[in-house]
Structure 1
């Protein structure tokens, strides 16, 4: 057993950093009033060396960088409960987390980015051919490659085998939010990181390979294509774009949930049958810039939203909960932290599949009027309790 250093965060959350057997970072985030002790088990597994960092290739038709991470082919796929790799280790389950935990964050064993970084740190080697900044990445050319530096982390919301963010308590949700803020700040400071993206994939229909309640955080070596389009829109319209969006949406019939610091709404031009945005009223570029009061309110508000989404039908709804954050070095005055939750579910037994127009051309056709979707979701949320 070891006693990792205890670092006090906001809301009574305690951070305890340690290491896995192959050197990957593992961080326990203890709930306020946790029943866990200060000691944690040592990861005594004998593990293979970590895979080589993947390589990015430039698509000259779009300017997108594609990370080719072949090691991900070997990741776990829907294992039984007794072999859950995100559950606490037992004598018969050599999982990724040695001890019982409240919330745990660790480096992915099969990463899309990293472990190498643009420069060497105590935790990671320097890549031989890292991206040389945003200007370098913007240069077009056939056959261009760069090392996929960065970090890919797993965020376990609970030690239990089944569930999602929405099944957690308000206290646990608040611990996860504190972990998101802490990891956003830490990852943003790593060499070569340009954007940090926390998200949760929920449901087999989305492609989830583990039923354990968890999300991920990607730290990219570039600004993602979606965010580049957002920055272009902000350049055209002004840094107050999100303020103006909130003014319009809060005066519409598309609002589904609102508080003192946050508002959730179905956007005016929703693409998906179920699409909800959750936006802070005050400008914050990322989770690290949110206040204690904003995080406190978000814990309960976000749970109500997710439980409302699940209350729409008799079975849990698949979704992607994507927390968009501003890039690390550019666009921070206009790009605001916000959630974009999307689901392909268009009826109890029907999914929207991206076929020719959407998948090939990026030309979307909506199935459900946003106002109608908002009305149904408001009704579902009204019946939700925490």
Structure 2
């Protein structure tokens, strides 16, 4: 099957080109350089691999003890894990090397459908249908254990074609292109009938289980509200009933008044360590304006975000003495799609499992079994260190 270009659109200094890979998955180039930006060059590369169409069927089961949904995706068990550099599936396809997930010999930013997604996806060109067969509505026919097919979508975001780079090392221009890609995908995925929340996130470092070292992130279109979002929406609803105001906006205002946990402040964004931080390194980044998601940012907010986010990541990399690249998880929490959207607010949660150089925080009995968190530091000390390592 030869993939075909399905559209090319310039927007905010980025040219977007969508193609189909050999197995029907979508891949989108976000180009910010000439000659692609002016349209004098186009993306015409073809995925030459012989790939069978992946048939995935995740199962989502309800945990009656916690009120949470659990995704079972057995097809991910044997997904690619730490391949040698010459077999990097996220590198560009270059002469003399095996073809990769990206047919082009170079790229700026690329987004494509995950070949091993957590959520079920219908075959290319079909309608997303998440309606469960009534006969499969319960595990073993027991009403205690509801189940359903997922829907949703999982995408991979490659921040750069350089496998040795990191997000913190991107130029401001390239970081802005990544933000544009996040916003574009948030807009598109939010329009899917099954989507309840879109989350963009990056896992970095073998210490936290990253399977591919190439600088990349992921975008999940969740077909249900994840547990943390459910908790946030519950607390936000209670806060609005009590005060008439938005919880996350009040949190940001309170942190800015207190000042002791503030890390950085711009015209449109502020970074702070939350007063009840759970991790030995944790920082949140939020816009000053009430914004539902990345797609709702205006040009000035998106431009400043590219600068502020890079500065924050570079401070994180200087946080631990002697550690060149701090392992971290960075997740963009966005407002739910549909019901309760007015109770959510865009914000970044970035945290590290590292508690000191070479030592990780393991989630043992208290955290894993009981959900009772114990931090080995204080939010004020974390914020102080992040201010001290400013460039």
Indicate yes or no: 2:169 matched with 1:160.
no
Aligned residue runs from structure 1 range 1-386, under 5 A:
5-10=7-12, 12-33=13-34, 37-90=41-94, 91-99=96-104, 100-116=106-122, 122-124=125-127, 126-127=129-130, 129=132, 141-238=143-240, 239-251=245-257, 252-313=259-320, 314-315=322-323, 316-380=325-389, 382-383=390-391
TM-score relative to the length of structure 2: 0.90
Tell me the secondary structure at the aligned position of residue 152 of structure 1.
strand
Runs of 4+ that moved beyond 4 A: 1-4, 32-36
Instruction: Give the whole-Å Cα distance in 1 for the aligned partners of 2:198 and 2:351.
Output: 19
Instruction: Give the whole-Å Cα distance in 1 for the aligned partners of 2:289 and 2:130.
Output: 38
CA-atom RMSD in angstroms: 2.1
Tell me the secondary structure at the aligned position of residue 117 of structure 2.
coil
Contact 2:236 2:247 in 1 (8 A): yes
TM-score relative to the length of structure 1: 0.91
Deviations 1:47-97 (A, max 9, x none): 122122211111111121111111111211111111000011234222111
Contact 1:55 1:67 in 2 (8 A): yes
Contact 1:2 1:41 in 2 (8 A): no
Instruction: Give the whole-Å Cα distance in 1 for the aligned partners of 2:187 and 2:372.
Output: 36
Unmatched runs of 5 consecutive residues or more in structure 1:
none
Aligned residues: 371
Give 1:141 deviation, angstroms: 3.4
Instruction: Give the whole-Å Cα distance in 1 for the aligned partners of 2:115 and 2:43.
Output: 24
Instruction: Give the whole-Å Cα distance in 1 for the aligned partners of 2:88 and 2:277.
Output: 36
Contact 1:2 1:39 in 2 (8 A): no
Give 1:286 deviation, angstroms: 0.7
